[in-house]
Each structure stands twice: as C-alpha cells, then as structure tokens.
Amino acid sequence: MLFLTLASLGLAALVRAQDQPVQVQVGGTASSPAFLFSPNNLNATNGTVFTFTFTGAPGNHSVTQSSFASPCEPLAGGFDSGWVSIPAGGVTPPPTWNLTVTDTSKPIWFYCKQLLPSAHCAVGMIGAINAPTSGSNTFDNYANNAKQSSNSGQGIGALVGQGASASAIPGPLANGATLFGTPASGSATATGASSGSGSGSSSSSSSTSTTSSSAANMIHANSLVALFAALMGITLA
C-alpha cells in the first residue's frame, strides 16, 4: 500500500514537471549580447510547451521552423513567431512566445531569420527539438549546415507548424517592443519557404495552405513591410 502511494505521488510530480513550460532565451542581453537560443538542443514529449523569451537589448530575432537540409530557410507549412524587436535597455516584462510540441515522431528544427548586421542563422542562432543523437541528422551536423549557408530565408510562416504550434503571437508588445511580419493564424505555406520535411529530408512538402486568400494577401503584405523595415535598419540586432 505504501509503495502504491509513493508511486502515485511520484507520477503526480512527474506530470506536474511536464506541465511546466521549458524556458528558452532568444538572443543575448544588454550585458552579454549574443546571437543564440539558450538552450538550443532541446528534448520534448507531446504536449511539452517551450516559452521563448525575447531578451535581446537591442535585438531583433525570430523563431522560424526550418529543415535539416535547409537550416536557414523557412519550412513550407512551418511555424514562425515573426520578428520581435527589443529596444536598447530591454523591456519589462519581455515578450514571450509559447510553442507546444504536437508530434514527436520527427525532429523539429528552427532558426532566427534576421539578416542584420549579418545573417544570424549562419553564426549559430539555430535550435532543434528531439534531434537524433546519432547518424547523419544530429544537432552538430545541423549547426554545421547552417554555418555553410549563404542566405537566410525571409518567408513568413504561421502559428501552426509541422510538429509544433502556437496559439498566439509574441507578447506583451509594450515599452518599445514591436513585431514585424506577423505570422498567420492557423497553418499556412511560408512565403518564399524552401520545401522539405521536418525530419531533414530534401523531398518536397505536401503541406498546403489552410488559410483564406485574404490571409495569404496579409502574409504577402506583412512580408513587404518586414523586408522594408530590415533594409532601413529598423531591425538592427
């Protein structure tokens, strides 16, 4: 009887632990600037929630789904936070973005698509959820692929991606924090995205947009706004 009671308490503690969001820092801080996700090599079960906290000060970053084969290109049908800009000195509270894992049958890869002052992805601002620990598609190989990338795709995705999804945009957006390239609600094919599977295959994705034509128009408009902002230096990281 005592054993069953202790086992039940242990199981309850495990469930509570799994219910706690896993914190991931996006970018560095005013005292320690860096282009990184911390931690960046993550493990999860179905239902795990990752809370991405945008701390860059100043900084402009995104959490954008990619593939193993194209680490610095948005995955068609992938999730995207949009670009979150933090002013010098930071903001309190910082914007956060909750991403829930919905499929653990394949790895989930992501990167920051900011280009200024140089492409963040190529200098190591990448991450993975449930990356294999052996074989060719490991996290280290993904990072090496990113370093070899000559471009960083700017396509705008959606809140719902392949294997993970969000229900809201990053927030709160106050005290100078801003969002560019707002992702579409639901799922959509990322504008300018490369095709590929979340497992790292280079084969074409069969994912199609589930949003209306008006949502597609909104994505295109947001993409132009975000690109203009980046070119004008508004998104300087």
175-193 pLDDT, tens digit each: 999 999 999 987 755 444 4
pLDDT of residue 88: 87
The candidate with the shortest Cα–Cα distance to 158, out of 175, 181, 138, is 181
143 exposure class (CB count in 10 Å sphere: 0-12, 13-18, 19+): middle
- The per-residue pLDDT for range 104-130, each reduced to its tens digit, is 999 999 999 999 999 999 999 999 999
57 pLDDT exceeds 90? no
**DSSP letters of 132-148?**
-SSSSS-HHHHHHHHHT
Report the C-alpha gap between 233 and 89 in whole angstroms.
Answer: 18
Respond yes or no on whether the N-terminal peptide bond of residue 58 is cis (omega within 30° of 0). yes
Which CA distances in Å does 162 have to 11, 169, 205? 30, 17, 10
Report the C-alpha gap between 115 and 60 in whole angstroms.
Answer: 9
CA quadruple 231, 232, 234, 237: dihedral positive or negative?
A: positive
143 close to 168: Cβ distance less than 8 angstroms:
no
100 pLDDT exceeds 70? yes
**Residue count of the chain:** 237
Q: What residues contact residue 145 under an 8 Å CB cut-off, 6+ apart?
A: 68, 69, 71
pLDDT of residue 188: 58
What phi and psi values does residue 51 have, to the nearest 5 degrees? -100, 110
Residues 230/231/234/237 CA torsion (nearest 10 deg):
60
Threshold 0.85, pTM exceeds = no
Report the C-alpha gap between 74 and 66 in whole angstroms.
Answer: 5
Radius of gyration of the CA atoms of the chain, in A: 18
196 exposure class (CB count in 10 Å sphere: 0-12, 13-18, 19+): buried
53 pLDDT exceeds 90? yes
- Determine how β-strand 126-129 pairs with β-strand 164-165: unpaired
Which neighbouring-strand residues pair with 65? 110
Instruction: Identify the top-confidence range among 90-94, 159-163, 219-223.
Output: 159-163
